[in-house]
Amino acid sequence: MTPVKTLLIDLDDTTYPTSVGVWPILTERVFQYMHEVVGIPEKEIPEKRERLFLEHGTTMRGLNIEYGIDVQDYLEYVHEVDLSEIIQPDSQLMSALRSLPQKKWIFTNASQKHANNVLGRLGIAELFEGVIDVMDTEPWCKPHPEAFEIALKLAGAPQPEETLFVDDLEMNLDAARALGIQTLRVSFEMIESKHPVIKSLTELPHFLSNIGIRRIEELPS
């Protein structure tokens, strides 16, 4: 078994449960931006937003390519939300991450500002080497392989097989595995996945120490 030396960890719906409800708030801000700033009719937004996300990896990238939006303006608009009543310090998560010797990086399709806000409210910001955000990998983003290649370089160029990528989205994990990166999915609900699954990021130490990581070729395709 190849030992894991570096952890690339997604932010939203990975460091905290989906039940917290951050994503619906951000989605509403995306819809508002598409209507109020871009001028897309409200009735067209849900279908168009889903298409942009699936085709381009993020709604932001799709809007930039197809509508020429300013990505910094988009990120500021969408992430201008108050999370103080939604995300609280998580002592269990703090302890779990602190127990891990691996270097830990946040790898997110969100902004640095949003990531720092979330990590600060969870109380785990100091446990990470840094945040690799969507501007760091521009013009790429997860699940594009180029985004993962940039993230690895920014994380100190660890070997892919010695890196574990943790995310809640199957398509992102598929892209990482195709590059030889070890993968782990966080899902707070029972799901079928091609990747190992844990219910909470607090289970990561147990996964690494007691279950271990099987070699990529041993995992089902």
Compute the distance between CA of residue 142 and CA of residue 72 in angstroms, rounded to an integer: 18
Domains within the chain, CATH numbers bracketed: 6-17+90-218 (3.40.50.1000), 22-78 (1.10.150)
pLDDT in tens, 174-216: 999 999 999 999 998 888 999 999 999 999 999 998 755 443 3
> Using alpha carbons only, what angle is made at residue 48 by residues 183 and 45, rounded to the nearest 5 degrees?
115
Token representation of residue 177: 């595995």
pLDDT in tens, 157-177: 999 999 999 999 999 999 999
Q: Are 185 and 193 within 8 A, CB to CB?
A: yes
Runs of H (alpha helix) within 17-163: 22-32, 45-56, 59-67, 71-78, 91-98, 112-122, 145-154
pLDDT reported for residue 212: 53
pTM of the model: 0.91
CA 204 to chain centre: 16
Kindly report which listed range (36-40, 81-85, 172-176, 187-191) carries the lowest average pLDDT score: 187-191
How sure is the predictor about 22, in pLDDT bands with cuts at 50, 70 and 90? very high
Radius of gyration (C-alpha) of the chain in whole angstroms: 17
